[in-house]
Structure 1
């Protein structure tokens, strides 16, 4: 399995200039590659591969010598990105979705470059990057496993990060016990409700910072374009967004760590977040709570720990009685499940979490464990 490590790096002024130039040359290569592949298809009906565009690099370097200042595999990775973008476009077309053709990247719209195999190393607390040099890196934890690739990313606030993709050995799956099985119902009133009755409150990070963000955005809108004041106001807006994202990310990490340490099988709802956000009354709150982030982080940590995460069909998990199985119709405003047949009266989220656990157990072929505690 693959695991990602992210570390803050601190380039010098000259190194930062080289990295900015690398980003701009990668952006030029991306646009050039997309243009050539687009024209080849429209004019000749020919689909070029990434290997064919890789063979064009020597000619491009002859016409644009500054490309020689970028490590060759970094430029080849740009071709891979274009290839993946076009494949994703064709996949969406075949699926009948609204495709959205890959866009050309404007200035400032390209923020990372990748060393796919070599051209980098860590030595004596420094990160060496080919064509750039030794950069100070904050290795706040050891890297376990074999490093496969490195992506250097520039954040919107101007900070730089090194993101390593590392290959580690798969962990054996331990036998599950009744106490290590859990179903989780995510929501807006409570961030999550567990099938054992525990509730995790919703921190609402965006809502907490909303007024400060609005104030910063008002100053940005009033600042004339192209002025130092506008750049300063933009940086304030970006810092507020970064602070919200960091809080949300840290919270999801803490919750996912706790879940993986305590449970061997974790069942979530397989929610259609994109469809849910079409409800404009709830869209902001749904984006703020970031359920997908929790599922993603829990999934990879569970795999590393030898546990399992399963996604179940969310249909009727809130309506179905966890004791007798009949469907009880209820509005979103009704916070309790009251069954007219068996008389069960319980918090609706807890009832849904128990149903999610039952469906999760069925999906892995376990039908002997009693999910309902009532």
Structure 2
């Protein structure tokens, strides 16, 4: 399940939800050449448009009545460059370079929209005051996708009929529809992209049957989840899931292929073959990890009405010496998937500040200092439980304030326990807990 197809995008819009279904394509060799040519031409146009914006920024970064202390470009100051001015120049681009006439016009506009979003993300901070990185020039092969913004309508460039996708100026391509598009879902746009193992199409679907969130007074089951490296996560009722370590297990095979790649002559057939094998290995590991995340997320959402998790600074943690293990478990990707699945099911999720949750006692609230090497929480009140279990109980307490549910999971200071954590395998049945 979800080796080829993934619901990896989800966004709320009023009462609708946007899902992304991905299917594999079977293009002909001629169509492959056409799509690769489109990607290369769009890459060149992207770089040219980015150069225009950077040139305008460098020439106008100083006010008109003063000079820059660093440098001042000489020449005529250009007018402001934005999406609308660059989109209006597409007609002139096709006159100067006739090969761009073979690319569907909407795909070229979407390419400029992609640049415009990256540009604004760099210059305009978000509500938290953070900005994205500076847009970079794309190397050959980095732009391997293009978008048809309209599907199955009068002026659309893409039409899906059965298992056949008809693209303007490309032709009809067979689609492997290994799961049907649900009834009532409207296809908003189609993105053609290339991966290491072939070409895919991602349909953006609008789902108007979004379930309403469960009322707060009807929440019956809640849990806190503590993520870690020894155990992937531990719930407030003592259940844990082991860390799969997909990248660690694939390291030996990956290193062997990378050594073979290093010995190959750059640009030769063996070189390109080795590059593709390395890319396929990374793609396989990513798919394994995402499938595992979906299984755990569905198991949690099916088991609990409210899931409390910790708001971790994952980027900061990934700068430590544990970076490889932290990036392998991919907590951030899992939390996004879990929240998306919860919204789709009408369940609740809540993030809380994790400070002190591993140190404070979940029974009496006392502060019990311990290092990371100490994996058992032992308090003077008599509570002796697993360290991650104690943290999950504290997270549940913080997230269930004001709710009509037991916030401590049944562990009070009058009921000290000494118990081991039980492991759960979410794969034993399809998105259900083990019996």
Q: Does the alignment reach a TM-score above 0.5?
A: yes
Q: Which residue of 2 aligns with 1:214?
A: 255
Q: Contact 1:93/1:99 (CA < 8 Å) preserved in 2? A: no
Where 1:337 maps in the other structure, the secondary structure is strand
Shift of 1:97: 6.9
| 1:242 maps to 2:280 | no
- 2:48 aligned counterpart, secondary structure: helix
Report the counterpart of residue 89 of structure 1 in structure 2: 122
Distance in 2 of aligned mates of 1:351 and 1:367: 21
Residue 358 of structure 1 is matched in structure 2 by: 397
Deviation of 1:305 after TM superposition, in Å, equals 1.0
Counterpart pick for 1:74 among 102, 107, 112: 107
* Bigger mean CA offset, 21-30 vs 90-99: 90-99
Question: TM-score, normalization: structure 2?
Answer: 0.81
Give the corresponding residue for 1:140.
Answer: 178
**1:160 equivalent among 175, 199, 205:** 199
* Shift in alpha-carbon separation, 1:99–1:141, aligned structure 2, 3 A: closer
Q: For residues 126 and 20 of structure 2, what CA distance do their matches in structure 1 show?
A: 31
Whole-Å Cα distance in 1 between the matches of residues 336 and 201 of structure 2?
A: 21
Structure of larger gyration radius: 2
Q: State how far apart, in whole Å, the 1-side matches of 2:111 and 2:262 are.
A: 34
1:83-135 deviation digits (Å, cap 9, x = unpaired): 11111211469988796421111111112111123311210211121221111
CA distance in 2 between counterparts of 1:119 and 1:314 reads 48
Q: How far 1:260 moved relative to its partner? A: 1.7
Structure 2 match to 1:131: 169
How many angstroms does 1:344 deviate by? 1.2
Assess if the C-alpha contact under 8 Å between 1:252 and 1:297 holds in 2. yes
Q: Which residue, out of 200, 203, 213, partners 2:244? A: 203
Alignment of 1:1-374 (within 5 A): 1-44=17-60, 47-91=80-124, 100-117=133-150, 118-144=156-182, 145-155=185-195, 157-169=196-208, 170-175=210-215, 179-280=220-321, 282-340=322-380, 342-362=381-401, 365-366=402-403, 369-374=406-411
Task: Count the aligned residue pairs.
Answer: 369
Cα RMSD after superposing both structures: 2.0
Flag structure 1 segments of 5+ consecutive residues without an equivalent: none
Q: In 1, are the aligned partners of 2:197 and 2:280 still within 8 Å (CA)?
A: no
State the Cα distance separating 1:212 from its structure 2 match.
0.9
Kindly indicate whether the alpha-carbon contact (under 8 Å) linking 2:123 and 2:131 is maintained by their aligned counterparts in 1: no
Q: Mean alpha-carbon deviation: is it higher for 139-148 or for 87-96? A: 87-96
Query: SS at 2:141's partner residue?
Result: coil
In structure 2, the CA distance between the partners of 1:98 and 1:165, relative to structure 1 (3 Å rule), is closer
Mapped partners of 1:93, 1:312: distance in 2? 21
1:48 Cα deviation after fit: 2.2
SS of the aligned residue for 1:346 comes to: strand
5+ long unaligned stretches in structure 2:
1-16, 62-78, 151-155, 412-435
Cα 1:167–1:94, aligned 2, differ >3 Å: closer, same or farther? Answer: closer
Q: CA deviation at 1:287?
A: 0.6
Contact 2:308/2:396 (CA < 8 Å) preserved in 1? Answer: yes
8 Å CA contact 2:361, 2:379 repeated in 1: yes
Consecutive aligned runs of 4 or more in structure 1 exceeding 3 Å deviation? 44-47, 91-100, 175-179
Q: TM-score, normalised by structure 1?
A: 0.93
